[in-house]
């Protein structure tokens, strides 16, 4: 039940931030709800990438949804926590069309993931990297005002996830055995597969601005 324990610890961190940061609650909750359906991608990670110990079907379990929900909310507000009240949200537009276009843009990355996975027959995680890179490029092109949050969110969540994962691996050293190392690079840093570290930086950069991007919200410095 290592996966469940790790997911619940992340959820506890989510709750701690949610309770202590009243101004960020709306952003956290919306981001978590937007991102949670991405847990369905676990169907493609098992068993080629890893085979987690779950309380249900390892192909898709409750742990996947807990993990994705927690990660979504944490990633979305790390930049705001880092800036310590120095920024505020400003609505760019109240029109419905502004919400459709960003969604279509993100859909391009999803399509790219499955094309790379089916055409090149590569490990699904590597296909995810391709989709993440494409989406990050498209976000920065269409919303250059979010570049700073893209960069900082990637760095902050990458560091947070590495520290969390390495601490968890220290107390649960057998956790690494759930990864299909033979299908990966084989690089392990302080108990963390290299692929997980790259994923964390990419997910941080992509999902950090997801709230502002999909809801057409701009970040502005407080005066």
The whole-angstrom separation of Cα 216 and Cα 90 is 9
Asked if 74 and 17 count as a contact pair (C-beta separation under 8 A), the reply is yes
The whole-angstrom separation of Cα 74 and Cα 21 is 12
Statement: residue 139 has pLDDT above 70: yes
Task: List C-alpha distances in Å: 10 to 147, 151, 195.
Answer: 26, 22, 19
Distance of CA 166 to the CA centre of its chain: 18
Classify 2 as helix, strand or coil. Answer: helix
Asked if 169 and 155 count as a contact pair (C-beta separation under 8 A), the reply is no
Statement: residue 169 has pLDDT above 90: yes
- Sign, CA dihedral 135-140-142-146, equals positive
**The pLDDT value given to residue 89:** 77
Given the structure tokens 């987690």, which residue do they identify? 52
pLDDT confidence of 96, banded at 50, 70, 90?
very low
17-25 mean pLDDT: 94
pLDDT confidence of 68, banded at 50, 70, 90?
very high
Q: Which residues of 58-71 are buried (b: 16+ CB within 10 A; e: fewer)?
A: bebbebbbbbbbbb
Q: Give me the residues paired with residue 90 across strands.
A: 218
Q: pTM of the full predicted structure?
A: 0.92
Given the structure tokens 């909750």, which residue do they identify? 29
């Amino acid at each position: 039940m290592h996966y469940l324990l790790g997911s619940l610890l992340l959820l506890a961190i989510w709750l701690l931030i949610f309770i202590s940061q009243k101004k960020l609650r709306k952003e956290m909750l919306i981001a978590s709800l937007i991102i949670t359906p991405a847990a369905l991608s676990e169907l493609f990670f098992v068993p080629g990438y890893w085979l987690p110990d779950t309380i249900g079907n390892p192909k898709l379990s409750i742990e996947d949804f807990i993990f994705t929900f927690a990660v979504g909310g944490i990633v979305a507000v790390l930049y705001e926590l880092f800036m310590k009240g120095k920024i505020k949200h400003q609505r760019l537009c109240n029109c419905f069309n502004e919400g459709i276009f960003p969604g279509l843009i993100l859909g391009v990355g999803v399509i790219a993931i499955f094309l790379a996975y089916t055409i090149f027959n590569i490990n699904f995680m590597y296909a995810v990297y391709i989709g993440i890179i494409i989406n990050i490029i498209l976000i920065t092109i269409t919303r250059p005002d979010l570049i700073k949050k893209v960069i900082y969110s990637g760095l902050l969540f990458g560091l947070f996830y590495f520290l969390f994962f390495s601490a968890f691996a220290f107390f649960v050293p057998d956790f690494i055995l759930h990864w299909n190392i033979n299908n990966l690079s084989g690089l392990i840093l302080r108990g963390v597969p290299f692929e997980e570290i790259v994923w964390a930086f990419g997910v941080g950069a992509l999902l950090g601005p997801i709230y502002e991007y999909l809801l057409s919200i701009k970040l502005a410095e407080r005066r």
